[in-house]
Amino acid sequence: MPVYEYSALDRAGRKKNGIIDADSPVTARQKLRSSGIFPVEMKESLSVSKEQVSSSFSQSFLFRRVKPAELSASTRQISILIGAGVTLVESLDALIRQVANPVLKKILVQVKESVNQGNSLASSLSQHPKVFSQIYINMVRAGEASGSLDLVLDRLAEFSERQVALKGRLKAALAYPVLMSVIGFLVLFFLIAFIVPNITKIFSEMQQVLPLPTLLLISASNFLKSFWWLLLICLACGTFLMKKVITKPKGRAMWDRIKLSSPIIGTLTTKMAVARFSRTLGTLLQNGVPLLSALQIVRNIVNNILIGKVIDDAIEEIRTGKTLAASLGRSRWFPPVAVQMISVGEQSGELENMLNRVADIYEREVESQTLAMTSMLEPVMILVMGLVVGFVVISILLPIFEMNQMIR
């Protein structure tokens, strides 16, 4: 449905600007007039369809996506407005005027128009599944049913802010090692492919038997200088094949098993999955979503086939009368400490709070383990680069030493 930007005057003669969702300019003008606003100027803006929002390669929206931080800030603002007694439509209208992201603004216009037509907020948000997740929609639906929409939106904002903050800390911890690895690789590649050949050319012209390290260095240098493009092609093909395999169910299951079973990365991946599971499930239960429905939502966002299978089994066992802790305890992917805390939460009737505590514990462990790994990576990278540079230096110096001995 088209979206129109307008400049208008209200009944008091005050100038108003905004956007409206309508089938045609005539319908848009009629909608404005019926609400006491008289349009002076109107032009069609880009309409936001679900396909445009979901396509990361759309030309119009390639660099204008809705970021999680923007969505959490908007959720916080509308929660404050509704908590202050402002109606939902007025809150959405105020939010639309404040939002800077054009994509989010146009989506909110469509949501407001849908609410104006009598639809619930959850139903209106569900028309944009690529922007509003299943967690978001189901929590809003529970908030509307319980009459505590402002509290639910406040918790949603807090949930999103925690997730964004955790991702930000992990990215910040990994940024320096990744940058240093890339720079180090480029420096070594340039050294071996372009600097070393100019030095080793002297040894080749002398027609003397060279030491094995020097021969290896010359061979590696010639290969990189002549076939660097082949390495890029192999890397691109390997990446493409890897992505192709992961899209298949068997390949994805194998990849997920490798991630969970690896010596160091596996522990980190497991803790991240348990933290995400606990935080999401605890937030959903805290906002009135039934346990089985909450588990089905978590199962769809857990992003791991093996853990998803554990959740599927837990859903079936809970339906037969078993507890969540007993179902999760049979899996090797859920740590005993987490299972024990969930069991205590079920017995005490505070499962939601206990799940949030589990999430707090494992989020802190993920962050501390990531920092420890990155602090170890730095000396390892320095050591590797030192060994490579040392090999290059020794390979160049060995023929020089042999020539000096021959001269003596």
Please give the single-letter amino acid code of residue 61: F
| Nearest of 108, 155, 134 to residue 3 by alpha carbon | 108
Query: How far is residue 148's CA from residue 70's CA, in Å, rounded to a whole number?
Result: 23
Which of 95-104, 231-240, 399-408 tops mean pLDDT? 231-240
Beta bridge partner(s), residue 15? 9
Which tens digit of pLDDT belongs to each residue from 141-165?
A: 878 877 778 888 888 888 888 878 8
Burial code (b: 16+ CB inside 10 Å, e: under 16) for 111-135 equals bbbbbbeeeebbbbbbebeebbbbb
The strand pairing partners of 20, in sequence order, are 4
Q: Which pLDDT score, from 0 to 100, does residue 63 have? A: 40
Element (H, E) at 8: strand 3-10
Residues 6+ apart with CB under 8 A from 302: 273, 276, 277, 308, 311
**Could you tell me the fold of the domain covering 261-366?**
Receptor-associated Protein (1.20.81)
Provide the sign of the torsion angle of the four alpha carbons 151, 152, 158, 161, taken in this order.
Answer: negative
Split at pLDDT 50, 70, 90, the class of 3 is low
Kindly report the backbone phi and psi dihedral angles of residue 152, in degrees, each rounded to the nearest multiple of 5, phi listed first.
-65, -45
- Looking at every residue in the chain, the average pLDDT score rounds to 82
Q: How confident is the model at residue 341 (pLDDT cuts 50, 70, 90)?
A: very high
pLDDT-derived band at 313 (thresholds 50, 70, 90) equals very high
Residue spans per domain, the chain = 1-45, 261-366
Closest CA to 270 of 357, 328, 341: 328
d(CA 185, CA 197): 18
Q: What is residue 404's predicted lDDT score, i.e. its pLDDT?
A: 67
CA–CA distance, 28 with 186 (Å, rounded to integer): 57
Task: Summarize the confidence of residues 341-367 as an average pLDDT.
Answer: 91
Q: How confident is the model at residue 64 (pLDDT cuts 50, 70, 90)?
A: low
Percent of the chain as helix, strand, coil, to the nearest 5: 75, 5, 20
Confidence tier at 311 by pLDDT (50, 70, 90): very high
Q: What is the pLDDT of residue 60?
A: 41
**How does 71-99 read in b/e, with b if 16+ C-beta sit within 10 Å?**
bbbbbbbbbebbeeebebeebbbebbeeb
Residues comprising the chain, all counted: 408
pLDDT band at 2 (very low <50, low <70, confident <90, very high): low
Q: Please, which residues bridge with residue 397 across strands?
A: none
- Give me the numbers of helices (H) and strands (E) for the chain, helices first please: 17, 3
- pLDDT 10s digits, 225-260: 888 888 889 989 998 998 888 888 888 888 888 888
Q: Which of 15-19, 195-199, 235-239, 342-346 has the lowest mean pLDDT?
A: 15-19
Structure confidence at residue 324 (pLDDT):
92
CA–CA gap between residue 346 and residue 321 (Å, rounded): 13
DSSP 13: -
Q: Are residues 125 and 132 in contact, defined by beta-carbon separation less than 8 angstroms?
A: yes
Q: What is the pLDDT of residue 314?
A: 92
Among 5-14, 44-53, 263-272, whose mean pLDDT is lowest? 44-53
**HEC string of 290-355?**
CHHHHHHHHHHHCCCHHHHHHHHHHHHHHHCCCCHHHHHCCCCCCCHHHHHHHHHHHHHCCHHHHH
Q: Rounded to an integer, what distance in angstroms lies between the CA atom of residue 152 and that of residue 141?
A: 9
The pLDDT tens digits for 176-226 are 888 888 888 888 888 888 888 877 777 766 666 778 888 888 888 888 888
